[in-house]
Amino acid sequence: MSKKKGNAADLAPSKEEKKGLGQYILGFFLLLYTLFCGLPILLVFISAFTDEKSITQNGFSFFPEKWSMAGVNSVLRYGSQLLTSYGITIFVTVFGTFLGLLVMSMFAYSISRKDFRLSKFLSIYLLIPMLFNGGQLSGYVIFTSYYHLKDSLWLLILPLCVTTMNVIILRTYIANSIPNELMEAAKIDGAGEYRTFFQITLPLLKPSLAAVGFMMATAYWNDWQNALLYITSDNKKPLQLLLVNIQKSIEFLLNNSNVPASARAAMGGNIPQYSSTMATVLVVIGPIMIVYPFFQKYFVKGLTVGSVKG
Amino acid sequence: MKSFLENTWKHRAHVVMALPAFLILFFIMYVPMAGLVMAFKSFDFSKGIWGSPWCGLDNFKFLMASKNTFISMTRNTILYYIIFTGLGTFLNVVLAIAIDQFVFKKVAKVMQTIMIIPVFISYAAVQFIVYAFISTDTGILNNTFDMGIRFYSTASWWPLILTIVKIWNSVGYGSVLYMSVLAGIDTELYEAAQIDGANKWKQIWHITLPSLIPMITVMLLLSVGNIMRSDTGLFYQVTRNSGVLYSTTQVIDSYVLNAIFKNSNFGFVSATSFFQSIVGLLLMLFANGMVRKVSPDDALF
């Protein structure tokens, strides 16, 4: 794909000649859309460093009257929970992504073996969850009252671990981009099945693994729903649940204007403030913003390979 | 049969390698499917799914009895699907063509990077950003234009708000797929068209668009299977799950999520879930059948 793209750019002098007015108009509209996408994110940065009073008096603004580090500082102050949550989110993301990549690529490799008769059954077995699923309620009841996994990190990891679409992407890549002869040759040289997979197939699968892995990592990082459903104890709360909880406590204060003053005072440190809330949002979305540009080329490629079969 | 067993034994290493994913799918996806029998039971947490007594179609009668809720959330689910898919696909294609036509490639690259970022921000975070724009007292919109609109208690604004948020979130990412198709178009086609005197618009109309049609068709058809499912975060988080807004923001998935938290109405919810799963299955089979006709290579099975 990338080669073709390079060629298209080289072979298009006709396009280069026409840097006329049309191009600038097009550029203007693209810029507008870029701003539409980028400005809300910029607002998070600005608000996180805005003085709290500026927000309560004048509202959120791209040009705040007064800057302040107070919001960021207050986030850092309730540090230990933030650190725990960061740890949980990182652990779940890293462990889940690696586990998922390993089991999915092994599955994808197995079902792409040509004379393996069971692979037909396994392919159908893989597809059915895409067509039909039990829904949230039945999953909730099964996971909590049959598996007894309530408040277990496994429920943050396993539900996002194996997805049909990702296995299909990996399988397509194995079938189309890894020459079968290589695997055959390794076997003739005396490598066993496992060794062939881990030493020949897996390294060649890297571009696809990077693409799928990044999408999985994002899904893990951003998952709030499973956390909200299953996680109850503070030392297992991931970052997204912190965000949800902040919102819940704001809601609580708004809906209970008759909360006695003493209770409000007791909640003192916890009453979420605009700038510190935005600082928390910043802390939660920051790592993805930083990592994403490095993975962009992989997932653009991986997306292409996976969806356009062949 | 014997040769099948022999073949399986010969491939025992592959069986072992497929096993972990097989088991995860089994426990996470397959067992909950069986849980759908809840729709025909009078569910009691203490007795569990299989221990609870059967109640025939009572749950579905309940569903029919409270049909206003049911109809409104089903209608919302389907309408949002249509708006998001229709407008989304259109914008995906327009954006892909626009970026492809833009000759300043380095600038385009940076712009595209920014356009894709929103898809990586969770709705739990997005809702705070949305709040900063539309809250009554501190929101940028109300302050800049002095409108004083109480967005969070006016249901009629939300189809628009949710559509804008959804577009912000997904269009940049969605266009990547179409751009990869555009990158694959043979440039000789454009050159030939130019020699024949076709201008840019004509080239887009006669070369670019037709080459995108197969991909558009396949993507649309495949999405049909998901009509009954929604982006739960969008409807649950961004609306702050506000009851006042339910008439335009409640979809099946967010309703079920709420019911689980409130621990209530499981009969109604299980019937709804059952309905959702069955309709989803039928639509998926239909969609795949259609894809099979249009472009067999892209069919799922």
DSSP string, A209-259: HHHHHHHHHHHHHH--HHHHHH--SGGG--HHHHHHHHHHHHHHHHH-TT-
Segment A153-157 long-range contacts (CB within 8 Å, at least 24 positions apart): A153/A88, A153/A91, A153/A92, A153/A236, A155/A226, A155/A229, A155/A230, A155/A231, A156/A88, A156/A92, A156/A96, A156/A220, A156/A223, A156/A226, A156/A227, A156/A230, A156/A231, A156/A238, A157/A92, A157/A95, A157/A96, A157/A99, A157/A220
Q: Which of A71-75, A291-295, B83-87, B217-221 has the highest mean pLDDT?
A: B83-87
Of the pLDDT bands very low, low, confident and very high (cuts 50, 70, 90), residue A263 is low
Using the predicted structure, report yes or no on whether residue A108 has a pLDDT greater than 90: yes
Tell me how close the Cα of B257 comes to any Cα of chain A, in angstroms: 7
Using the predicted structure, report yes or no on whether residue B46 has a pLDDT greater than 50: yes
- Interchain CB contacts (distance < 8 Å): A and B: 306
| Nearest chain A residue to B268, by CA | A137
Please report the pLDDT score of residue A139 as a whole number.
Answer: 92
Using the predicted structure, report yes or no on whether residue B276 has a pLDDT greater than 50: yes
| CA distance to A132, A145, A171, per residue, from A135 (Å) | 9, 16, 26
Mean pLDDT of A162-168: 91
Please report the pLDDT score of residue A302 as a whole number.
Answer: 61
Mean pLDDT of B242-265: 89
Using the predicted structure, report yes or no on whether residue A93 has a pLDDT greater than 50: yes
| CA distance to A183, A199, B31, B207, B243, per residue, from A206 (Å) | 16, 12, 33, 35, 47
Using the predicted structure, report yes or no on whether residue A46 has a pLDDT greater than 70: yes
Residue of B268, B218, B72 whose CA lies nearest to A309:
B218
Is the CB of B187 less than 8 angstroms away from the CB of A12? yes
Of the pLDDT bands very low, low, confident and very high (cuts 50, 70, 90), residue B237 is very high
For residue A122, which residues of chain B lie inside 8 Å, CB to CB? 18, 22
Whole-angstrom Cα distance, residue A285 to residue A144? Answer: 30
The dihedral over CA atoms of B215, B217, B223, B228, expressed in degrees to the nearest 10, equals 170
Please report the pLDDT score of residue A307 as a whole number.
Answer: 47
Nearest neighbour of B111 by CB, restricted to A34, A41, A60? A34
Please report the pLDDT score of residue A13 as a whole number.
Answer: 45
Using the predicted structure, report yes or no on whether residue B266 has a pLDDT greater than 50: yes
Task: Give pLDDT tens digits for B201-230.
Answer: 888 999 999 889 888 888 888 788 788 888
Mean pLDDT of A193-200: 90
Tell me how close the Cα of B201 comes to any Cα of chain A, in angstroms: 11
Nearest neighbour of A289 by CB, restricted to B43, B103, B117? B117
Nearest neighbour of B35 by CB, restricted to A36, A134, A303? A134
Domains delineated in chain B: 2-51 (no CATH), 66-298 (1.10.3720.10)
Is the CB of B122 less than 8 angstroms away from the CB of A221? yes
- Determine what percent of chain B falls in helix, strand and coil, rounding each to the nearest 5: 80, 0, 20
Mean pLDDT of B59-77: 87
For residue A34, which residues of chain B lie inside 8 Å, CB to CB? 111, 114-115
Please report the pLDDT score of residue A1 as a whole number.
Answer: 36
Task: Phi first, then psi: give them for residue B54, nearest 5 degrees.
Answer: -70, 150
Mean pLDDT of A141-145: 91
Mean pLDDT of B163-170: 96
For residue A107, which residues of chain B lie inside 8 Å, CB to CB? 17-18, 20-22
Instruction: Tell me if A200 sits within 8 A of A186, measured CB to CB.
Output: yes
Q: Pick one of 1.10.600.10, 1.10.3720.10, 3.40.50.970, 3.30.450.20 as the CATH number of A81-307.
A: 1.10.3720.10
In percent, how much of chain A has pLDDT > 90? 42
Tokens standing for residue A141: 């009841």
Residue of A305, A18, A33 whose CA lies nearest to B94:
A33
Of the pLDDT bands very low, low, confident and very high (cuts 50, 70, 90), residue A8 is very low
Around B77, how many Cα atoms within 13 Å sit in the side-chain half-sphere? 24
Task: Give pLDDT tens digits for A198-225.
Answer: 998 999 998 889 888 988 998 999 999 9
Residue of B11, B224, B211 whose CA lies nearest to A116:
B11
Domain ranges of chain A: 81-307
Chain B contact present for A176, CB below 8 A = no
Residue of B30, B36, B72 whose CA lies nearest to B266:
B36
Instruction: Tell me if A113 sits within 8 A of B14, measured CB to CB.
Output: yes
3-state secondary structure of B41: strand
Interface of A with B in 250-309 (CB under 8 A): 251, 274, 277-278, 281, 284-285, 288-289, 292-293, 296, 300, 303-304, 307-309
Please report the pLDDT score of residue A76 as a whole number.
Answer: 79
Of the pLDDT bands very low, low, confident and very high (cuts 50, 70, 90), residue A26 is very high
3-state secondary structure of B40: helix
Please report the pLDDT score of residue A78 as a whole number.
Answer: 66
For residue A222, which residues of chain B lie inside 8 Å, CB to CB? 120-122, 124
Please report the pLDDT score of residue A202 as a whole number.
Answer: 92
- Rounded to the nearest 5 degrees, what angle is found at the Cα of B45, between the Cα atoms of B43 and B46? 120
Chain B contact present for A27, CB below 8 A = yes
Mean pLDDT of A254-261: 59
> In one letter, which amino acid is B125?
A
3-state secondary structure of B201: helix
Is the CB of A247 less than 8 angstroms away from the CB of B28? no
In percent, how much of chain A has pLDDT > 70? 83
Please report the pLDDT score of residue B163 as a whole number.
Answer: 97
Nearest neighbour of B128 by CB, restricted to A142, A218, A278? A278
Higher pLDDT, A78 or A270: A78
Tokens standing for residue A39: 């400005």
What ipTM, to 2 d.p.? 0.89
Is the CB of A140 less than 8 angstroms away from the CB of B277? no
Please report the pLDDT score of residue B81 as a whole number.
Answer: 95
Using the predicted structure, report yes or no on whether residue B249 has a pLDDT greater than 50: yes
For residue A26, which residues of chain B lie inside 8 Å, CB to CB? 98, 101-102
pTM: 0.87
Please report the pLDDT score of residue A11 as a whole number.
Answer: 42
- Rounded to the nearest 5 degrees, what angle is found at the Cα of B33, between the Cα atoms of B47 and B36? 50
Task: Give pLDDT tens digits for B4-21.
Answer: 899 999 899 999 999 999
Q: Considering only CA atoms, give the Rg of chain B.
A: 24
**What are residue B41's DSSP bridge partners?**
B54
Task: Give pLDDT tens digits for B101-120.
Answer: 999 989 999 999 999 999 98
Best of B19, B103, B253, B274 to substitute, by most chain A Cβ atoms within 10 angstroms, is B103
Higher pLDDT, A73 or A201: A201
For residue A243, which residues of chain B lie inside 8 Å, CB to CB? 122, 124-125, 128
Please report the pLDDT score of residue A309 as a whole number.
Answer: 41
Q: What mean pLDDT, rounded, does chain A reach? A: 83
For residue A14, which residues of chain B lie inside 8 Å, CB to CB? 190-191, 194
Chain B contact present for A175, CB below 8 A = no
Is the CB of B122 less than 8 angstroms away from the CB of A240? yes
Interface of A with B in 76-135 (CB under 8 A): 102-104, 106-107, 109-111, 113, 115-119, 122-135
Is the CB of B143 less than 8 angstroms away from the CB of A124? no
Tell me how close the Cα of A263 comes to any Cα of chain B, in angstroms: 24
Using the predicted structure, report yes or no on whether residue A289 has a pLDDT greater than 90: no
Tokens standing for residue B49: 């799914």
Is the CB of B103 less than 8 angstroms away from the CB of A29? no
Please report the pLDDT score of residue A255 as a whole number.
Answer: 64
Mean pLDDT of A1-30: 62
Using the predicted structure, report yes or no on whether residue B261 has a pLDDT greater than 70: yes
Q: Considering only CA atoms, give the Rg of chain A.
A: 25
Task: Give pLDDT tens digits for B134-152.
Answer: 988 889 998 888 888 899 9
In percent, how much of chain B has pLDDT > 70? 100
Higher pLDDT, A15 or A35: A35
Of the pLDDT bands very low, low, confident and very high (cuts 50, 70, 90), residue A303 is low
3-state secondary structure of B54: strand
Please report the pLDDT score of residue A254 as a whole number.
Answer: 61
Nearest neighbour of A136 by CB, restricted to B22, B102, B256? B256
